[in-house]
A = this chain, B = another copy of it.
């Protein structure tokens, strides 16, 4: 059986975990959990040679250095001339692969606690992909989250299900209904399919995009371990996400349900949820002295942070920026003047 090709997407501008995450070093390239970056943890998850082929990383030129710090020798990089969202980025990788290759598309800035469960889920998804399904991995929801898209499961297609529909980020009431219904999962942006099947569907639903990607690849050039698609056609693409461009249109969408301790680490609250705490629920990274504190997260790149009497608060010190937010306010970090100014 052919091995699965990990296609790792490095996009995003990184304002929600500001000031630690910055344009120059966004979330995938930070050691937010443990001592390694989310990007290298993503690579490590897809590194079993019995199951996976060499990885392909799709990213902008700006992050080439960060990527090379972690990319194994047999990994390659596809350098997007400009960001055009996920549908064209994935198409670049697909166009560089044999048409029957099974791709595992995954973001590089998520955290997955249970690597074994991840591999089992991917193996199930690959089984469906070999039968020419386009598989979106569904995350079993643990709460009525309003920040994620949802996938509603349809008929069983063992070892997964057909997708009845994709649902945009719901409001809280609908999110609660989805949770009660039991037939909904979160769309974690992880996909498994054959390269050729994806390109065929893209050609069907976004023919212009497919054509410009084909042209950008045909006119591209290799440089060491990197492939540079031609900028002129690629930049003319009207960008779109894989969800909108392909998954919501195709008749071959399937899903496999995953229980793997997934988090998108979408803000400081989400990061705190994934951390090991002390007996008072506190976490200190760097120098911190906590007095009468509960559920306080301190992450300092240098200065000594002394905190007295706070509860449910996140403190992040990065260079010349300090953010102090209630856990409930963490979702507003990306809108702070400092996050927008960078």
A residues sitting closer than 8 Å to B (CB atoms) are 19, 289, 291-292, 300, 302-310, 313, 315, 317, 319-326, 328-330, 332-333, 336-339
Residues A308 and B321 in contact, CB atoms below 8 Å apart: no
In the complex with contacts A309-B328, A313-B310, A329-B292, A322-B338 CB distance below 8 A: no
Residues A338 and B308 in contact, CB atoms below 8 Å apart: no
Residues B333 and A304 in contact, CB atoms below 8 Å apart: no
In the complex with contacts A291-B336, A332-B291, A326-B310 CB distance below 8 A: yes
By a CB distance below 8 angstroms, the chain B residues around A328 are 309
Count of this chain's copies in the oligomeric assembly: 2
Excluding A292-B332, A303-B321, 9 further A-B contacts by CB distance (< 8 Å) are: A289-B337, A300-B322, A305-B324, A306-B321, A306-B325, A308-B323, A309-B325, A315-B324, A324-B324
CA distance A275 to B305 in the complex (A): 24
What are 18 A-to-B residue pairs whose CB atoms are below 8 Å? A19-B306, A289-B336, A289-B337, A289-B338, A291-B336, A300-B322, A303-B321, A304-B320, A306-B322, A306-B325, A306-B336, A308-B330, A308-B332, A308-B333, A309-B329, A309-B332, A310-B313, A315-B322
By a CB distance below 8 angstroms, the chain B residues around A330 are 308
Min CB distance A289 to B, Å, is: 5
In the complex with contacts A292-B329, A329-B291, A329-B292, A324-B307 CB distance below 8 A: yes
Q: In the complex, what residue of chain B is closest to A313 when comparing beta carbons? A: B310
Q: In the complex, what residue of chain B is closest to A318 when comparing beta carbons? A: B303
Min CB distance A290 to B, Å, is: 10
Q: In the complex, what residue of chain B is closest to A326 when comparing beta carbons? A: B309
By a CB distance below 8 angstroms, the chain B residues around A292 are 329, 332
In the complex with contacts A291-B336, A292-B329, A329-B291, A317-B308 CB distance below 8 A: no
CA distance A19 to B308 in the complex (A): 14
Residues B322 and A322 in contact, CB atoms below 8 Å apart: yes
Q: In the complex, what residue of chain B is closest to A341 when comparing beta carbons? A: B304
By a CB distance below 8 angstroms, the chain B residues around A332 are 291-292, 308-309
Residues A323 and B306 in contact, CB atoms below 8 Å apart: yes
Q: Which 9 A-B pairs have the closest CB atoms?
A: A309-B329, A308-B329, A309-B326, A308-B325, A306-B336, A305-B322, A303-B320, A307-B324, A306-B323
Residues A324 and B304 in contact, CB atoms below 8 Å apart: no
A322 interface neighbour in B303, B309, B320, B333, Cβ under 8 Å:
B303
By a CB distance below 8 angstroms, the chain B residues around A319 are 303
CA distance A326 to B311 in the complex (A): 10
By a CB distance below 8 angstroms, the chain B residues around A324 are 305-308, 310, 313, 315, 324
Min CB distance A230 to B, Å, is: 41
CA distance A315 to B319 in the complex (A): 17
Min CB distance A339 to B, Å, is: 8
